[in-house]
């Protein structure tokens, strides 16, 4: 029986599909390509040598989502589909609540209708708001500070209510820290539209010369070098965490949240330094004012995932930098590029 992957054409979804296919799961992808390119799925086929069904469907389109469940005996859903830009969510809250929250309500309604109760959901470390301490464990207070974060928090709460209403539900909410890196083939990776908001894609575009320099947002935080500290995790490690979470939801009932991070924080300047060493490229930067809404330090206590999912991250910061760079160098214009062969 297939696994339905919503948002499977996106950054984390495509990497998870590689791991699913390599573990011999049958998959079906639902995506409306609002923030992705069908080319990622062509690359996925090339990379794995496997085929799968793709539905170009919006989660808000109830009739077509219903048809997917009608046509397929779905065993479980991994739900990545969602909008994720914090700044945009402040400007367009309605769009974010509709897309993320209503989209999830349509999905779970169809799951109930067709008796599919196994779900892995993409949450985020953003649900911890400004954490009271680090490392952050799952029992910390949950307070979102922007509409994007609130959609994640609301969905987590809705999923808990579903489990209260019907104990057949088996749900894992995965709270990702900062995914970076790319598949080591250089065939798939992160492909942000326009100027990147996040640090690693910004750095790789400075490295190719597409952007002139990096702005480091603040060097007066109470961290060792004054710049923000985050828990960067290789996207392939993150993808493997989904396979473990899927195995768990398929074998138990209940609802649980798990941090997926490395447990190790690195500052902006440490990441820049690691990237320069791994890529051999110089990253010019300037110190700029703090970005509104940023926190000083954020890194996970990932021990619950290790204990209960038998998962922990394996890849080093150097591998994250090397793989991010390989992807960017081979695909200077993301999926619109003709892949460049690197000697
Ligand atoms: P992404 O934008 O690359 O992938 C999301 C995919 O969902 C895209 O392919 C997009 O086209 C699709 N999508 C969006 N709305 C849809 C809809 N209504 N119907 C059908 N498809 C739709 O993002 P990503 O980085 O792969 O993130 C995946 C999930 O993980 C998101 O829910 C995101 O909020 C969450 N997350 C991401 C990060 C991160 O740093 N990348 C961190 C924490 C949580
Ligand atoms: C951001 C989001 C978070 C979301 C995550 C993944 C905000 C406030 N938070 O997290 O909700 O889950 O992305 O999509 O947007 N930095 C620079 N220069 C840059 C870009 C970033 O110095 O050009 C710094 C930031 O200040 C931060 C660190 O780099 O200290 C990481 O930033 P980023 O990659 O945007 O991730 P988060 O802010 O952790």
Element (H, E) at 326: helix 317-330
- Does ligand 1 have an atom closer than 6 angstroms to the CB of 176? yes
> Confidence class of residue 341 from pLDDT cuts 50, 70 and 90?
low
Coil, helix or strand at residue 340? coil
- Percent with pLDDT over 70 in the chain: 98
CA-CA distances (angstroms) from residue 327 to 139, 182, 281, 307, 341?
A: 36, 6, 14, 33, 11
Average pLDDT for residues 57-85, to the nearest whole number?
A: 98
> Phi/psi of residue 34, each to 5°?
-70, -25
pLDDT exceeds 60 at position 343:
no
pLDDT exceeds 60 at position 342:
no
* Terminal-to-terminal C-alpha distance of the chain: 42
CA–CA dist 117, 297 (Å, integer): 36
Coil, helix or strand at residue 315? coil
| Tokens at 160, concatenated | 């808990």
Task: Give the number of whichever ligand sits closest to the CA of residue 147.
Answer: 2
Q: Which of 175, 215, 228 to mutate to test the pocket of ligand 2 (most atoms within 8 A of CB)?
A: 228
- Does ligand 2 have an atom closer than 6 angstroms to the CB of 178? yes
pLDDT number for residue 77: 99
Task: Give the number of whichever ligand sits closest to the CA of residue 177.
Answer: 1
Q: pLDDT tens digits for 228-260?
A: 999 999 999 999 999 999 999 999 999 999 999
Average pLDDT for residues 327-340, to the nearest whole number?
A: 88
Within its chain, how far is the Cα of 10 from the centroid? 9
> Confidence class of residue 303 from pLDDT cuts 50, 70 and 90?
very high
> Confidence class of residue 340 from pLDDT cuts 50, 70 and 90?
low
Burial of 76 (0-12, 13-18, 19+ CB in 10 A): buried
pTM: 0.98
Catalytic residue among 117, 148, 202, 335: 148
299 is catalytic: no
- Does ligand 1 have an atom closer than 6 angstroms to the CB of 179? yes
CA-CA distances (angstroms) from residue 150 to 76, 95, 100, 101, 147?
A: 25, 13, 10, 9, 5
CB 30 within 8 A of CB 80: no
Average pLDDT for residues 206-229, to the nearest whole number?
A: 97
| Tokens at 237, concatenated | 């490690």
pLDDT number for residue 337: 78
């Amino acid at each position: 029986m297939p696994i339905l992957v919503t948002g499977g054409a996106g950054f984390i979804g495509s990497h998870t599909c590689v791991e699913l296919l390599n573990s011999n799961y049958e998959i079906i992808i639902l995506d409306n390509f609002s923030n992705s390119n069908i080319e990622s799925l062509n690359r996925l086929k090339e990379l794995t040598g496997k085929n799968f069904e793709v539905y170009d469907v919006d989660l808000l389109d109830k009739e077509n989502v219903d048809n997917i469940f009608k046509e397929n005996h779905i065993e479980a859903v991994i739900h990545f589909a969602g909008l994720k830009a914090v700044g945009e969510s402040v400007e367009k809250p309605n769009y974010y609540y509709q897309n993320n929250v209503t989209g999830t309500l349509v999905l779970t309604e169809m799951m109930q209708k067709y008796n599919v109760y196994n779900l892995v959901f993409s949450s985020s470390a953003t649900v911890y708001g400004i954490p009271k301490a680090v490392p952050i464990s799952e029992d910390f207070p949950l307070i979102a500070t922007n509409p994007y974060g609130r959609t994640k928090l609301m969905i987590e709460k809705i999923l808990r209510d579903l489990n209260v209403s019907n104990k057949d539900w088996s749900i894992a909410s995965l709270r990702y820290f900062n995914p970076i890196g790319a598949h080591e083939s250089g065939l798939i990776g992160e492909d942000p539209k326009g100027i990147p908001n996040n640090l690693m894609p910004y750095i790789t575009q400075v490295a190719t010369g597409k952007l002139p320099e990096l702005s480091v947002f603040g060097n007066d935080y109470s961290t060792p070098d004054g710049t923000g500290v985050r828990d960067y995790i290789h996207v392939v490690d993150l993808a493997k965490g989904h396979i473990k979470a899927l195995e768990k939801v398929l074998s138990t009932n209940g609802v649980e949240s798990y941090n997926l991070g490395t447990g190790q924080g690195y500052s902006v300047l440490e990441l820049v330094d690691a990237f320069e060493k791994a890529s051999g490229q110089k990253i010019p930067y300037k110190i700029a004012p703090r970005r509104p809404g940023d926190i000083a330090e954020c890194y996970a206590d990932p021990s619950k995932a290790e204990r209960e999912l038998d998962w922990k991250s394996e890849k080093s910061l150097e591998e994250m930098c090397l793989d991010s760079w390989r992807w960017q160098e081979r695909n200077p214009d993301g999926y619109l590029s003709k892949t460049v062969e690197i000697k």
